[in-house]
Chain A
Amino acid sequence: MAITGLFLISFLLVHCSLNALIFLNDGGVAFNEGAEFMGTNPVIRTMEIVLFAGLLLHIYDGLRLWFENKSKRPVAYAVVDGAANSKWYSRSMGLLGTLLLLFLILHLKHFWYFSRLTEGLEDHTLYAEMQAVFMNPVVVIVYVLGCISLGYHLLHGFSSAFQSIGWNHPKYMPTIKTIGAIFSIVIPAVFAAMPIAFYFHLIQ
């Protein structure tokens, strides 16, 4: 869970930085160059397979944990005051992960399927496809909700991953938690800004 989670966090950083090129507002020239590189470089294409493997392993681990842990308390409490001792998102990682997965299916359909498995790039660019997809207000709302789920998932997941691999030390944990909180807010906010910016024609 922790190892695959940290791997997926490193992917988010790459994905977010590259996509943020759209904010250069150069009509997508820089972004399309980046997308072209990511789509053709053999190292990146290999990492894409590793990424899918990492994602599937993360999902498998999560489901296994959820089912196993569920069975450890056969008789449920009548009253649970969870808010008194933990954050709701730390107790809802399975729910947040499921929402993310649903979002991800839609997201892969929109852009990964378009750029990898169709001839789409022949007639128009990935940038143009983003512009087209984000004209639909429902899609924009679903993407923003997906980003909010991602934010809360990361808010627990980032520091939790370090705790799981044993990196809880009084000297480093406060820094890890601070970086985790900043990461969990900034990355989803930048992602969410993309559909919003396209929808409101803030970038052309």
Chain B
Amino acid sequence: MEGHLNLTLKIWRQKNANVAGKFETYQVSGISTDMSFLEMIDVLNNRLIEEGDDPVAFDHDCREGICGMCSMYINGRPHGPNRGVTTCQLHMRSFQDGETITVEPWRASAFPVIKDLVVNRSAFDRIIAAGGFVSVNTGNAQDANNLPIPKEDADEAFAAAACIGCGACVAACKNASAMLFTSAKISQLALLPQGKVEAANRAQAMVAQMDEEGFGACSNTGACEAECPKGISIENIARMNREYFSATFSSK
């Protein structure tokens, strides 16, 4: 059932990280309810280009909810009003005709704005890199059944590994904390025998890097879990805390 919407958009425009940004207001009309939110911005950008204006810069890549690029804080929530979706999976049918939609970038000192709605999330890459390696035997691949893994552990590790590193957890958190992201990355390895060898060092190194990047501390509001497009559980944060405490007590 297709309809068409006329909308007012308040979009954050900022040239680069060094200058202050401000909201610009745009009117868009005839937006199909079947469009994704990104396609609606595409329509706006087409017009801006035709008019000789600077199009709105925003991150996007796969447009099917698996790359984690489309970082938009829409009407006070990361990825807009629906749960369990990224911005590219958000459809215009979730909005009312005549509505004013406010679009902001992720706001955190660890995620500086590159331009408009594009933020630099390389802090996440450095947290991953701080985790280091997993010890894997060289030579021929061993028989898969040599490494028995309980089904529950495999499922939990996989659920943690579903994290696409989009940063919605940081964007949603009142403290701009990256605990959900970091804990998911720690858990996906800590739950499996391959990751257990360096688990203690990994927890300490990744938490230290997370703090150094300037993310806030967790106060357990649970906003990250609610806004995560992949439904990563805050049980991972508790696991990270356990890993971190035991590593702190036992490290040399």
Seen from chain A, the residues whose Cβ lies within 8 Å of a Cβ on chain B are 65, 68-69, 71-82, 84-87, 90-91, 93, 156, 159-160, 163-170, 173
Contacts and interface: CB of A to CB of B under 8 A. Distances in A.
A87 B174 CA distance: 12
Nearest to A88: B221
A86 B223 contact: yes
9 pairs of A and B residues whose beta carbons are closest in the complex: A81-B76, A168-B238, A166-B242, A69-B175, A85-B226, A72-B216, A79-B76, A72-B176, A86-B221
Contact of B107 (A65, A73, A93, A168): A73
A90 B219 contact: yes
Contact of B239 (A69, A78, A166): A166
A156 B104 CA distance: 29
Given A72-B215, A90-B220, A163-B238, A78 B174 contact: no
Interface of B: 10, 21, 23, 73, 75-77, 81, 102, 104, 107-110, 172, 174-177, 214-223, 226-227, 234-235, 237-239, 241-242, 245
17 contacts: A73-B107, A75-B107, A76-B107, A84-B77, A84-B226, A85-B77, A85-B221, A85-B227, A86-B223, A91-B221, A93-B219, A164-B218, A164-B241, A166-B239, A167-B238, A169-B235, A170-B235
Contact of B216 (A69, A77, A85, A170): A69
A86 B226 contact: yes
Given A79-B76, A86-B223, A166-B241, A72 B104 contact: no
A93 B219 CA distance: 9
Contacts of A69: 174-177, 216-217, 219
Nearest to A71: B109
Contacts, number: 106
B221 A90 contact: yes
Contact of B223 (A82, A93, A164): A82
Nearest to A166: B242
A140 to B, nearest CB: 32
A78 to B, nearest CB: 6
Contacts of A80: 76
Contacts of B21: 75
B196 to A, nearest CB: 17
A164 B183 CA distance: 13
A66 B76 CA distance: 21
Given A84-B81, A163-B220, 18 more contacts: A65-B219, A69-B176, A71-B109, A72-B108, A73-B109, A78-B104, A79-B75, A79-B76, A80-B76, A85-B172, A85-B223, A86-B221, A90-B219, A91-B174, A164-B218, A165-B245, A168-B235, A168-B238
Taking each of B73, B75, B221, which has the highest tally of chain A beta carbons within 10 Å of its own beta carbon?
Answer: B221
A76 B227 CA distance: 18
Contacts of A159: 220
A159 B234 CA distance: 13
Nearest to A80: B76
